[in-house]
Amino acid sequence: MENNQSKNYRILIVDDICDWLNHHAGLIKTFYGLDTLEIVCASSAQSALEKIMASEQPFDLLLTDLEMESIANENYAGAWLVKNMKVHQDKVKNILIISGSYDIKEVADSLNVDFIPKDLLMNNPLLLKYKLDELLKI
């Protein structure tokens, strides 16, 4: 492995469904262990933005769902969050959308971020590991 193996990673997982938060966090913990990993969870885009802005250290990865709470003038709360992070690039280094939304590819492409459809992740959990290896260069 690369020298990054000893690096401490900070990951923020955002989803309004507790089972998905636990699922994503559990997979990441299984793949990488806990000794070099800090996982923070938020159950809404607005809560995630507050955590990101209050944090003194940047997050290495923002992993977010698209469909959460309703936000005015926005189709998806997750897209709203990603747009806000594009303005504050010093707060989040990488962004990954994991969603069951039918138009996840179009939304992710329009935001210029990576994505994994939830149905594909359920059939192949290693997709998350491969994507994290690529994004975080683990």
> Looking at residue 5, what is its pLDDT?
52
CATH code assigned at 112 = 3.40.50.2300
87 Cα distance to chain centroid = 17
Establish if 18 belongs to a structural domain.
yes
Report yes or no on 4 lying in a domain: no
**What's at 49, amino acid-wise?**
L
The sheet with strand 9-14 has its strands ordered as 37-42, 9-14, 61-64, 95-99, 114-117
Global pTM? 0.92
Does residue 30 sit within a domain? yes
Residue length, the chain?
138
Instruction: Provide the domain limits for residue 37.
Output: 10-136
pLDDT category, 1, cuts 50, 70, 90?
very low
How many whole angstroms separate alpha carbon 9 and alpha carbon 31? 13
For residues 45, 51, 53, 57, the Cα torsion angle rounded to the nearest 10 degrees is -130
Tens of pLDDT, residues 93-109: 999 999 999 999 999 99
pLDDT digits (tens, 9 = 90+) for 18-29: 999 999 999 999
111 is a domain residue: yes
- Percent of the chain that is helix, strand, coil (3-state, to 5): 45, 20, 35
Number of domains in the chain: 1
In a domain, 105, yes or no: yes
Which of residues 87 and 59 earns the better pLDDT score? 59
Q: Would 98 be classed as within a structural domain?
A: yes
Whether residue 3 lies inside any domain: the answer is no
Establish if 51 belongs to a structural domain. Answer: yes
Q: How many Cβ atoms sit within 10 Å of the Cβ of residue 53?
A: 10
Structure tokens at 95: 């962004």
pLDDT for 136: 92
Position 7 scores a pLDDT of 78
Task: Express each pLDDT in 3-56 by its tens digit.
Answer: 445 678 999 999 999 999 999 999 999 998 877 799 999 999 999 999 999 999
Per-residue pLDDT at 8: 87
